[in-house]
Amino acid sequence: MRLRQLLLVPIVVGLVVGCASPQESVVRESASVVTSAKPEVPFKLRFTAKTLDGADFAGESLAGKPAVLWFWAPWCEYCKGDAELVAKVAKASVGKVTFVGVAGKDDLEPMKKFVADHKMDGFPHLADLDGELFKRSRVSGTPTLVFFSADGKTDVHYGSIEERELTKKVRDLVE
């Protein structure tokens, strides 16, 4: 009987005091209040690609910032017509809105020539040679602009765009 009482004392003390040490409790509590400062990455920005120059580009680098993806093709007459306007608005928006061109539906050399011919070297252009970025963004035709607000909401414009409308949409991203 005495032996049974002696064996029960450590069990009772353990239940009263608790199984976790004070350090473990502190770790659990502090871990539960830690939050991530990284913005959530929208599905359309979860990609990696190569620029026309072969550099790596991570779509997630655009998360939490206002951005515009301009989908184009070198043979597209509407894209040729919009190129100067897109370059102009992108240049005026440096530091406020990030522009990225997404070239597709052709080969690398015509894509590079298009950028050079239309003086569009003020922002990066991605080579979507396999069409994956077009598919991911549900873009089937060119030109198409996808506008990302800092909170990840998107607005899509299909087809050619007028200066007034493009300027307004870009301004809306930063206001």
Which pLDDT band, with edges at 50, 70 and 90, does 80 fall under?
Answer: very high
Res 13: pLDDT:
37
CB 39 within 8 A of CB 64: yes
Res 40: pLDDT:
84
**CA distances (Å), origin 55, targets 48, 50, 63, 120:** 10, 5, 19, 17
Does 11 have pLDDT greater than 50? no
Token pair 């979860």 in the structure block, residue? 46
The domain 43-174 is placed in CATH, from the list 3.40.30.10, 3.50.50.60, 3.10.20.30, 1.10.1140.10, at 3.40.30.10
Res 37: pLDDT:
56
For 13-68, the pLDDT digits (tens) are 343 333 333 333 222 332 333 444 566 888 889 999 999 999 999 999 999 999 99
Res 163: pLDDT:
97
Res 25: pLDDT:
28
Res 32: pLDDT:
33
User: Residues spanned by CATH 3.40.30.10 within the chain?
Assistant: 43-174
For 99-127, the pLDDT digits (tens) are 999 999 999 999 999 999 999 999 999 99
Indicate the residue type of 140: S
Tokens of 75: 């043979």
For 152-164, the pLDDT digits (tens) are 899 999 999 999 9
For 125-137, the pLDDT digits (tens) are 999 999 999 999 9
Res 133: pLDDT:
94
What is the model's pTM? 0.77
Res 152: pLDDT:
87
